[in-house]
Chain A
Amino acid sequence: AQSVTQLGSHVSVSEGALVLLRCNYSSSVPPYLFWYVQYPNQGLQLLLKYTSAATLVKGINGFEAEFKKSETSFHLTKPSAHMSDAAEYFCAVTSDTGRRALTFGSGTRLQVQP
């Protein structure tokens, strides 16, 4: 079985500060990992994904994430927060077991203070 844990249901940063959203996964087989963002009243939009190529993955809007197998982590970072980054962020996992379903974490709501 696969699972994802996102530490911190709410994270607040100042505009221009580093954003760090934490995601730890559990999977008995090599995982594929995704970060999605949900803006108010919108669907889930893919930020970036890890598919066993480079461990440091760059995504849209200046976000990146590093896959660390030894720590079973896939934390999302952005060097400098912008007001428009305020949204809910979801980490998700799937794998090559034949399943296509994504297993999501509980989400982290990011607030950006001026």
Chain B
Amino acid sequence: EPEVTQTPSHQVTQMGQEVILRCVPISNHLYFYWYRQILGQKVEFLVSFYNNEISEKSEIFDDQFSVERPDGSNFTLKIRSTKLEDSAMYFCASSRNREPFYEQYFGPGTRLTVT
């Protein structure tokens, strides 16, 4: 069964450094998402991406964040200058269609630790 994959599984970085989190969505999916979960808190939406542009973003997704689909398979989240409060589990998801009732398939997550 196809699945969303994410690398790395765990990333440790120092405050102020740039990080890139990578995701490979399911191959025939058209919508891509990033969510994050700070330890002990809710899963929060960051951004959605469709047709090579951002279709929706939350207030969390400020200028420090960017997303890219550099080729036909990868979907990346870049944090330009990490802060301590960026420490969280970051989940990538993809869905086959733009309809909201289509399931979003989630990857296993990347745990980001900012020291």
Contact = CB atoms under 8 A, between A and B. Distances in A.
A and B associate in one complex: yes
Interface of A: 32, 34, 36, 41-46, 49, 51, 90, 92, 94-96, 99-107
Nearest to A6: B42
Contact of B42 (A42, A94, A105): A105
A43 B109 contact: yes
Contacts, number: 57
Kindly name the residue among A43, A90, A95, A105 whose own CB sees the greatest number of chain B CB atoms within 10 A.
A43
A107 B39 CA distance: 12
Given A51-B101, A101-B33, A107 B107 contact: no
Nearest to A42: B108
A100 B56 contact: yes
Given A100-B33, A101-B33, A44 B43 contact: yes
Contacts of A94: 100-101
A101 B56 CA distance: 8
Contacts of B91: 43-44
B51 interface: no
B97 to A, nearest CB: 10
Interface residues of B, number: 26
A16 to B, nearest CB: 30
A51 B103 CA distance: 11
A43 B4 contact: yes
B56 A36 contact: no
Given A46-B104, A106-B41, 9 more contacts: A43-B107, A44-B93, A90-B43, A95-B100, A100-B33, A100-B55, A101-B33, A102-B43, A104-B44
- Sorted nearest first, the 8 A-B pairs with minimum C-beta distance are A101-B45, A51-B101, A44-B106, A43-B106, A104-B43, A43-B108, A94-B100, A32-B101
Contacts of A92: 43
B95 interface: yes
B43 A100 contact: no
Nearest to B108: A43
